[in-house]
Chains A and B, each alone.
Chain A
Amino acid sequence: MNAFSYARPRALAEALRMLRNGAMALAGGTDLLGLMKDGLARPDSLVDLTGIEGLRGWSHPKGRGLRIGALTSLVELETSDALAKTMPILRESLQDAATVQLRTMGTVGGNLLQRNRCWYFRDEGTVCWLKGGNRCFAIDGENRYHAIIGAQDCVIVSPSDLVPALLAYDAEIALTSSRGTRQMKLGDLFVTPRGRDRREHALRSGELITEVRVPEAALARRGTYLKAMDRKAWSFALVSVAAAAKFERGLARDVRLILGGVAPVPWRVIAAEKGLEGSALDDAACADAADRLLAGATPLRDNGYKVTLARELVRRALRSLVA
């Protein structure tokens, strides 16, 4: 880790001022410290956000949707019984995410902004395309954990468990910087690195996520989150799926279907969801949705199994909504 200076302001404005001046934001530190230890982030200064009280905790003002402060710890979302009633998919997606310790340390905002786990990217000794090099080593290298779809110059995958769950409920995020605030759909936060844009997130410099919002209408959905790992705990998803829908007379409406672990961004195909509108989510409909979702998948040497896994998890997730 390089040497850096550190501050822990109490006021958001102070933190934003520091960010504008080039500091990096520290919350739980579970990703940033890893990047720093691997020499992938070398900040001159860190601004510790955890002193800012207003960004912690969640609320559900009647009829106005769910609001989750960006500094809320993952373990709080996971263990709150009240939240498990309001939006059960949160607990479901978090209980197999990382470990108790990391969920205790990690925050919602940090989880959304965590960087990918590609082992070439994380290897300090490999200057891969995403780090400014001229090739992606995984495409012709060791790629069992890499993208099967949606990738161009770089085959990283979206690692978060929480994100697909939030996307299945149409979450939005509030962003703020010293220039002002804005709101965006959570899905728009994630960008596929390609061409000259080698970013994973659409966050502007100096900007912070302050809140995640889930619209009230979405909370009526039934949802589920499934995750396949290569051991029974403490692994990033090989493939994960979040599915949600509401049901009218046994038929699905507002279906959402998002895959994690398969593409550089959380993978969503509107046509796949639309195809399920009004369906009873029978096996044929599930297979059709999987076809649409995975159309154009181009597995690499070692990750063809992810296509099989994804199809099956999609089927199981959708079936479980009607079960």
Chain B
Amino acid sequence: MLRGPGEADIAFTVNGAPAKVRAAPRRTLLDTLRETLALTGTKKVCDEGTCGACTVLVDGRPVYSCMTLAITCEGKSIETIEGISKDGELHPVQRAFIDADAFQCGFCTPGQIMSIVALLRENSAPTEDDVRRAVAGNLCRCGAYPNIVKAGVSAGKRKS
């Protein structure tokens, strides 16, 4: 069934809750999250798949939402930075970021955190190298990397 080029109905779940949006096929998941669903925690930095600031999880896996069309997410489960704390309690990765001072301006932070959340689901006790591999596609211009690595390792320890 051909949809578009005008707006089409798209249904997926966002942070566990069903969401229905109307969006043209050319609309990215990033713009849909930010502008249609007002989930502005996911940041737009390069908009061309090079920086990682827009990293979200689709069906549990980390992707660049700027290089993902919303319409391709039909029926899928999307998780964003807004969805990982439960009942007002921060996710262990979020707590680890605060404790390790793993951010400065904070603009790359949601993407970094989502990449590490994805890592921890595959590997609950990552080494420093595991964390580096997981966030090698998340650029940080302030240079918080050493603390991001520390936070990733310590979040693994907290979780397990």
Chain A contacts to B: CB under 8 angstroms:
1-8, 26, 29-30, 33-34, 36-38, 45-46, 48, 50, 75, 95, 98-102, 104-105, 233-234
B-side contacts of A33, CB under 8 Å: 28, 49, 67, 69
Interface flag for B42 (CB, 8 Å)? no
B-side contacts of A37, CB under 8 Å: 47-48
Complex: how many Å from CA A34 to CA B55? 16
A and B contact pairs by CB, cutoff 8 A, 21 listed: A3-B24, A4-B25, A5-B3, A6-B2, A6-B8, A6-B69, A6-B71, A29-B68, A29-B72, A30-B64, A33-B49, A34-B48, A34-B49, A45-B2, A50-B72, A99-B138, A100-B137, A101-B115, A102-B49, A104-B61, A105-B63
A-side contacts of B63, CB under 8 Å: 101, 104-105
Contact B26 A34 (CB under 8 A): no
Interface flag for B17 (CB, 8 Å)? no
A-side contacts of B6, CB under 8 Å: 3
A-side contacts of B136, CB under 8 Å: 99-100, 233-234
A-side contacts of B67, CB under 8 Å: 29-30, 33-34, 102, 105
Contact B64 A7 (CB under 8 A): no
Q: Taking the nearest CB of chain A, how far is it from the CB of B16, in angstroms?
A: 21
A-side contacts of B52, CB under 8 Å: 99, 101
Complex: how many Å from CA A274 to CA B103? 54
B-side contacts of A7, CB under 8 Å: 1-3
- Which of A26, A38, A101 touches B64 (beta carbons < 8 Å)? A101
Q: Taking the nearest CB of chain A, how far is it from the CB of B124, in angstroms?
A: 16
A-side contacts of B137, CB under 8 Å: 98-102, 234
- Which of A1, A30, A99, A101 touches B26 (beta carbons < 8 Å)? A1
With A33-B69, A50-B72 already in contact, the answer to whether A3 and B62 are too (CB < 8 A) is no
A-side contacts of B49, CB under 8 Å: 30, 33-34, 101-102
Q: Taking the nearest CB of chain B, how far is it from the CB of A115, in angstroms?
A: 14
Contact B4 A3 (CB under 8 A): yes
Complex: how many Å from CA A75 to CA B58? 14
Chain A residue with Cβ nearest B71: A6
- Which of A1, A3, A48, A233 touches B72 (beta carbons < 8 Å)? A48
Complex: how many Å from CA A26 to CA B28? 14
Q: Taking the nearest CB of chain B, how far is it from the CB of A156, in angstroms?
A: 19
Contact A6 B25 (CB under 8 A): yes
Chain B residue with Cβ nearest A122: B48
Complex: how many Å from CA A30 to CA B63? 10
